[in-house]
Amino acid sequence: MYKVLHRKSLKDSVTQIDVYAPLVANKAKPGQFIILRVDEDGERIPLTVAGTNKEEGTVKIIFQIVGATTEKLNHVMEGEFIADFVGPLGNPTETEGLKKVCIVGGGVGCAIALPLAQAFHEQGSNVTSIVGFRNKDLIILEDEFKAASDNMIMMTDDGSYGRKGLVTEPLKELLSSGEKFDMIIAIGPLIMMKFVVLTAKEFNAPITVSMNPIMIDGTGMCGGCRVKLIKDGKAVTKFACVDGPDFNGYEIDFDSSMERAVTYKEYEKHAYDEACNLFKKEVV
């Protein structure tokens, strides 16, 4: 059992918790993830490590309430326990030798992007962060991004805060002005990453994307997290849990990934509704 030491609501549907897992905290690096189960009968879900505190022995995770398991996880209070917390899994993001980077984050993907921006900042790299949200009410981690960035650009779809527009717009402007990045790293919704890659392609700029597909065991055995790549005109299958989660953005078949991402959409909605009804009954 793993104890939740700290809990913080970032937004109505976004929660941050610090879980006591000293062995994971000691080894986890930016870009890696954990797999947890809220209780012994629960499903396994992957969540990216949003930070660690080795002195406290805690691992920070940030999650959006989108399904049954995240709804259940959101009801675990400080001092309570979750059943399983396994990691670190996946390969850490490559940071060595990158002196100038651009981090592009979208929505809750910014929780994954932040520890990368912090890691690059700590090693002395020049960091440009472009972060985007649908509106002002959904913005998270703004101050943390500012602290870790030499240049931070905030975007909202509706213009309610920061600059109105999509994250691809300032990226294109920077690249058009002659900015050269050792690496662009995009993390967020698949459709966002697809168009960030297309923008980078116009300038032949190197780009890495972080994939978070359906995942079960996190060891490459189940095959659920397969990602289709196109290399030299040929389709290649990789597994996000052991080969990723970072991949060369130019090689990802985003259309197939988006199709797979909605495979269980109706089932997930049904499970979420059941979980919500269960908690409502408990409250009554």
Express each pLDDT in 113-130 by its tens digit: 999 999 999 999 999 999
Rounded CA-CA distance 213/114 in Å is 20
> What mean pLDDT is predicted for residues 171-184?
96
Tell me the pTM.
Answer: 0.86
Burial class (CB in 10 A: 0-12, 13-18, 19+), 266: exposed
> What mean pLDDT is predicted for residues 207-219?
85
Asked, as a colleague might, if the bond just before 88 is cis with ω within 30 of 0, I would say: yes
> What mean pLDDT is predicted for residues 24-45?
91
Answer yes or no: is pLDDT of 160 > 90. Answer: yes
The model's confidence at residue 259, banded by pLDDT at 50, 70 and 90, is: confident
Angle between helices 190-201 and 168-176 (to 10 degrees): 10
Which pLDDT value is given to residue 23?
95
Is-contact 144 110, C-beta < 8 A? no
Which pLDDT value is given to residue 214?
78
Which pLDDT value is given to residue 34?
93
- Domains in the chain and their CATH numbers? 2-89 (2.40.30.10)
Answer yes or no: is pLDDT of 279 > 60. Answer: no
63-94: pLDDT as tens digits: 988 888 899 999 999 999 999 999 899 999 98
Which pLDDT value is given to residue 161?
94
> What mean pLDDT is predicted for residues 34-49?
90
Mean pLDDT (the chain) is 89
Give the 3-state secondary structure of 3-55. Answer: EEEEEEEEECCEEEEEEECHHHHHHCCCCCEEEEECCCCCCCEEEEEEEEECC
- The CA-atom distances, in angstroms, between 140 and each of 11, 113, 262, 271 are 7, 12, 25, 27
Is-contact 47 63, C-beta < 8 A? yes
Answer yes or no: is pLDDT of 240 > 90. Answer: no
Rounded CA-CA distance 219/234 in Å is 25
Which pLDDT value is given to residue 213?
78
> What mean pLDDT is predicted for residues 218-227?
81
